[in-house]
Chains A and B, each alone.
Chain A
Amino acid sequence: MRSFRLTGVSLAALSALTLAACATTGSSSGDGAAAAAPREREAMARGLDYAANPDPYPSTYAALPRENMAIVGATVLTGAGQKIENGVVVVTDGRITAVGGPGTAVPAGHRVVDARGRYVTPGVIDVHSHLGVYPSPGVQGMSDGNEATNPNTAQVWAEHSLWPQDPGFNTARAGGVTTLQILPGSANLFGGRGVTVRNVPSITMQGMKFPGAPYGLKMACGENPSRVYGSRNSSPATGMGNVAGYRAAFIAAREYKAKWDKWRETGEGSPPTRNLQLETLAGVLDGSVLIQNHCYRADEMAVMIDIAKEFGYRITAFHHAIEAYKIAPLLAREGICADMWTGWWGFKMEALDGLEANAAIVDAQPNSCAVIHSDDAQLTQRLNQEAAASIAAGRRIGMNIPEERAIAWITLNPARSLGIADQTGSLETGKRADVVIWSADPFSVYARADQVFIDGALTFDRMNPAYQPVSDFELGQPGFAMPAATVDQGAR
């Protein structure tokens, strides 16, 4: 898949340019764009025009203390299709600066990490998580994942529900997860914006936010919205009601976007009233907000693809794509990622046809994007095993699935599914050094993440309690700080 990162950042730049251009025309000072604030808009508060402040909750993420290093001797699965025996991964200033065989030069001054007998992969990326918004403990007062008050809540942002103290972030990291997309739930047709985070302990949401990662808009097909709203005797109550809801929303968004575009072009009259719901949808239309669409059934995915064409936007990923295997060529042709489970099936009608070989079948298409995801605080700790089960199901029907290919299901392909593949997801020169050293082949049930590096910084170490963070909630709770067994614990 191409990189289609018109990210928040680049869009902001674009908007600033537009603004500046208008300002210049409207200004008589001639001092240049920067100095020439538009007079007719001086009175407008920043919050009334998103272009004046397109990133109102900016990332404050900073990597943990790090050192330059070379991880040597391991079997390296790069995520980009290579398997390197006795490999060398060089990390400099938080970036991958070299990946190669045993002859790869280790720069002077780099600490050498002995990973002989172990495996090295990119950090695992979970594209579908509710950590922080449906945290542990899952009690009333903490369950903030579904704004199930209207079928269209495109105006809500998961980052405003995210509780960074969810202990699940720590357990996910102990499973090798370095990046997650935290999504709103699936009660609504438009559930709201997701947020992509670095999996680092943080007091604030902003401290986890992945710098520059595009926003995703959670949409939901199928049973959930129609059940929730149908049971309230309101629309949508059916699949056709769902589709009418999507279409009505994008019609409104087109009009909203046109008003702003026109106002930005002409600068005449009053600016349109800012509408957070339509603004997110307009972001979908201009490509800055990626569609992350919960959609189980093949026939529904096909309809969603046509809706996207009808209104002129792209779908980045179908989540919970239980029936992706039925339309694998279509998904590959459209460049849409299929984000899947291996073992989940049968819990409702739209999940009835789930099967273990789903990812393997989707992956076999040229130009495909097969992703294994969790949607679950437990499963996210073991995405490597979930991938292994799908490898086995594919091999059972004779498919040739090398491990160096399948590792992309939980690394590079999810990065593509989030629009951050230029940043992370594989061990390639120039990318963020998100790296996991596994005790064994990661597709083995016995493999544990020994060390997890995020931007080159050691963020979890199974052998060293100093690198096993616990959340505020966990402090002093029953069992706290008691050794549970004679095994290197890691997180919980």
Chain B
Amino acid sequence: MRLKTLILGAAASASLGVLALAAPAAAQSLTAITGGRVLTGTSVIENGTVVIQNGRVVSVGSGAAPSGARVIDARGKTVTPGLVAVDAVLAVSEVGSVSGTGDSSNNANSISASFDVSYGLDPWSITLPVARLGGITRAVVTPSHSGGGDGHDHQDDSDFAGVGEGGLQSPGLFAGQAAIIDLGQGGEILVKPRVAMVAPFGEAGAGIAGGARGAEFVQFKETLAEVRLYARNRAAYDRAGLRDLSLSRADLEALIPVAEGRMPLIVTARRAADIRQVLRLAREEGLKIILDGAEEGWLIADEIAAAQVPVLLDVLNNLPSNFEMRAARMQNAAVLNAAGVVIAIKGSDGGGRVREMRYNAGNAVSHGLPYAAAIQAITVNPARIFGMGGQFGELRPGAAADVVVWSGDPLEPLTIAEAVFIDGQEQPMTSRQFLLRDRYARPGTLPPAYNR
């Protein structure tokens, strides 16, 4: 009874709050979010005003709201760009254990580098509203690969072998191509397909090549040579006038922009020695790489910075979960940032717990990362790393109007996102989880099934 009273009272106030914010707002209407602490992604404006219209940010400053604008009072609140998740599997994996919903990895030999995750995107995925409630408005949906996790892939000790990497097995050196999505309700969520190629190195990559790291690097170089040979001799290839190549035509095609240094290659490497090898490989082959993992990166932070290679970090990896991560430390993010490396901070997984990326950024702060750098690592940096700088992930004129109004500091678990705009469109603040919650937290006289 106590519960019921509490929640009924709450529901009234909560829905009032939502109504106040959520008057039907078309994306094109002029809206001003005023009075909040505005973290633009690169700067802080106290008592700031963010004006949006036609799906774009019009201005960010400290002036008054323009006349005629719908005003959202954000006094006492924090306003940020929508968060940008990297290494996500949102909209390509509905239930982790249900393989039929899993479109983030592929096991066919003939489709590895050419695997294009964007075709599997489901805009109606129940994972999207959950992530959106965590303030995430854009995500880099990234093919999963063996070794992509942190050594703690099992979710409830059900990794009964106790070893291995959650059963993912990529048959080729490449896991496929990532895509950028927005998390806007009800529309086309694909922003840009084929933004990066994924390849595991270290133990995972070695496993694919036969077991040894020395085999993977040789195979990788050989593959690039084939890609270049193919690119120079397409006509000959098409009339079967070229020597046999180990990759399918589709994979060869997909790798041309990688070999030419136009498409970034996301390289999972954890051990400092592996990172160093990968940096050398990139230099020798003219590749544009993004490091993924880099748990031991702090040991050679200056080398990573000198190579101007950005890093996607799981900042909570601080245990020697395997022999690639013996130097794993919570301070990794702080050290890399201090050395000048551009970092992006990941969620706790790519799907259900991607919303924890803001807490992870907070934990990096408590281990030495400057607060401003932590905000950048979940907004501006991921956008820039994937070539979308200025287009989203930042509150600046001309950028997509992805805006989140938070009840407080966005890095705090006690803080919630109160309003989310994507491309200027105010998003419904609900999810399947909230429907379940309300059904059971507010019992009626009939069974819960009648309560919707």
Q: A187-B158, A485-B331, A485-B334 are in contact. Are A139 and B323 (CB under 8 A)?
A: yes
Q: Is residue B11 contacting chain A, with contact meaning CB distance below 8 A?
A: yes
B interface footprint on A437-459 (CB within 8 Å = 1, 0 otherwise):
00000011111100000000000
Q: Is residue A312 contacting chain B, with contact meaning CB distance below 8 A?
A: no
Whether the pair A479, B326 counts as a contact (CB closer than 8 A) is yes
CB within 8 Å of A: which B143-188 residues: 150-152, 155-158, 160-163
Q: Is residue A228 contacting chain B, with contact meaning CB distance below 8 A?
A: yes
A444 to B434, CA, bound (A): 24
Q: Is residue A45 contacting chain B, with contact meaning CB distance below 8 A?
A: no
Chain A residue contacts of B413, Cβ below 8 A: 385-386, 388-389, 391-392, 443, 445
Q: Is residue B220 contacting chain A, with contact meaning CB distance below 8 A?
A: no
Q: A445-B366, A446-B366, A486-B368 are in contact. Are A377 and B299 (CB under 8 A)?
A: no
B interface footprint on A397-410 (CB within 8 Å = 1, 0 otherwise):
11110000000000
Chain B residue contacts of A186, Cβ below 8 A: 156-158
Chain A residues with a Cβ closer than 8 Å to the other chain, count: 83
Residue of A nearest to B6 (CB): A399
Q: Is residue A43 contacting chain B, with contact meaning CB distance below 8 A?
A: no
Q: Is residue B385 contacting chain A, with contact meaning CB distance below 8 A?
A: no
Chain B residue contacts of A56, Cβ below 8 A: none
Main secondary structure of the interface of A (DSSP, over half): loop
- Select the residue from A347, A366, A389 with max chain B CB neighbours within 10 A: A347
Chain B residue contacts of A137, Cβ below 8 A: 320-323, 326
Q: A138-B151, A378-B152, A477-B320 are in contact. Are A445 and B6 (CB under 8 A)?
A: no
Closest CB in chain A relative to B23 CB, distance in Å: 21
Contact of A344 (CB < 8 Å), options: B272, B353, B411: B353
A377 to B154, CA, bound (A): 11
A320 to B157, CA, bound (A): 11
Whether the pair A325, B440 counts as a contact (CB closer than 8 A) is yes
Contact of A346 (CB < 8 Å), options: B95, B296, B327, B366: B95
Whether the pair B359, A385 counts as a contact (CB closer than 8 A) is yes
A99 to B227, CA, bound (A): 72
Known: A388-B412, A446-B362, A486-B368. 18 other contacts (CB 8 A): A185-B157, A343-B352, A343-B356, A345-B352, A345-B433, A346-B94, A347-B96, A355-B434, A377-B321, A378-B318, A381-B318, A396-B416, A398-B10, A445-B366, A477-B326, A478-B327, A485-B368, A492-B319
Residue of B nearest to A183 (CB): B157
Whether the pair A445, B412 counts as a contact (CB closer than 8 A) is yes
A145 to B158, CA, bound (A): 10
Chain A residue contacts of B2, Cβ below 8 A: 364, 366
Q: Is residue B14 contacting chain A, with contact meaning CB distance below 8 A?
A: yes
A389 to B414, CA, bound (A): 6
Chain B residue contacts of A224, Cβ below 8 A: 156, 158
Contact of B319 (CB < 8 Å), options: A171, A326, A365, A391: A171
CB within 8 Å of A: which B349-371 residues: 351-353, 355-356, 359, 362-363, 365-368
Q: Is residue B437 contacting chain A, with contact meaning CB distance below 8 A?
A: yes
Chain A residue contacts of B42, Cβ below 8 A: none
Residue of A nearest to B351 (CB): A346
Whether the pair A492, B299 counts as a contact (CB closer than 8 A) is no
- 9 smallest CB-CB distances across A and B, nearest first, come from A398-B10, A143-B162, A479-B327, A445-B362, A487-B368, A348-B97, A484-B331, A347-B96, A485-B331
Closest CB in chain A relative to B423 CB, distance in Å: 25
A351 to B352, CA, bound (A): 11
Q: Which residues of A contact B (CB under 8 A)?
A: 130, 134, 136-140, 142-146, 148, 167-168, 171, 185-187, 223-224, 227-228, 294, 320, 325-326, 328, 343-349, 351-357, 361, 364-366, 375-378, 381-382, 385-386, 388-389, 391-393, 396-400, 443-448, 473-474, 477-480, 482, 484-487, 489, 492
Whether the pair B322, A343 counts as a contact (CB closer than 8 A) is no
Q: A392-B415, A484-B332 are in contact. Are A446 and B338 (CB under 8 A)?
A: no
- Select the residue from A146, A223, A354 with max chain B CB neighbours within 10 A: A146
Task: Say which size band chain B's interface belongs to.
Answer: 35 or more
Whether the pair B14, A398 counts as a contact (CB closer than 8 A) is yes
Q: Is residue B236 contacting chain A, with contact meaning CB distance below 8 A?
A: no
A interface footprint on B93-129 (CB within 8 Å = 1, 0 otherwise):
0111110000000000000000000000000001100
Chain B residue contacts of A392, Cβ below 8 A: 413-416
A171 to B367, CA, bound (A): 13
Q: A397-B14, A484-B298 are in contact. Are A346 and B7 (CB under 8 A)?
A: no
Main secondary structure of the interface of B (DSSP, over half): loop
Whether the pair A143, B3 counts as a contact (CB closer than 8 A) is no
- Select the residue from B13, B332, B352 with max chain A CB neighbours within 10 A: B352
Contact of A444 (CB < 8 Å), options: B7, B9, B130, B412: B412
Closest CB in chain B relative to A83 CB, distance in Å: 16
CB within 8 Å of A: which B301-351 residues: 316-323, 326-332, 334-335, 338, 348, 351
Residue of A nearest to B362 (CB): A445
Chain A residue contacts of B334, Cβ below 8 A: 484-485, 487
- Select the residue from B156, B160, B362 with max chain A CB neighbours within 10 A: B156
Chain B residue contacts of A146, Cβ below 8 A: 157, 160, 162
Chain B residue contacts of A396, Cβ below 8 A: 14, 416
Whether the pair B157, A130 counts as a contact (CB closer than 8 A) is yes
Residue of A nearest to B163 (CB): A140
A191 to B434, CA, bound (A): 34
A489 to B330, CA, bound (A): 9
Closest CB in chain B relative to A470 CB, distance in Å: 11
Q: Is residue B436 contacting chain A, with contact meaning CB distance below 8 A?
A: yes
Whether the pair B437, A361 counts as a contact (CB closer than 8 A) is yes
- Select the residue from A145, A325, A477, A479 with max chain B CB neighbours within 10 A: A479
Chain A residue contacts of B299, Cβ below 8 A: 478-479, 482
A385 to B413, CA, bound (A): 6
Whether the pair A361, B441 counts as a contact (CB closer than 8 A) is yes
Q: List 9 A-B contacts (CB under 8 A).
A: A136-B319, A138-B321, A326-B440, A344-B353, A349-B97, A356-B433, A397-B438, A478-B272, A487-B368
Q: A325-B440, A349-B95 are in contact. Are A443 and B322 (CB under 8 A)?
A: no
Chain A residue contacts of B441, Cβ below 8 A: 325, 357, 361, 397
A187 to B414, CA, bound (A): 35
A96 to B68, CA, bound (A): 63
Q: A136-B320, A349-B97, A446-B365 are in contact. Are A143 and B158 (CB under 8 A)?
A: no
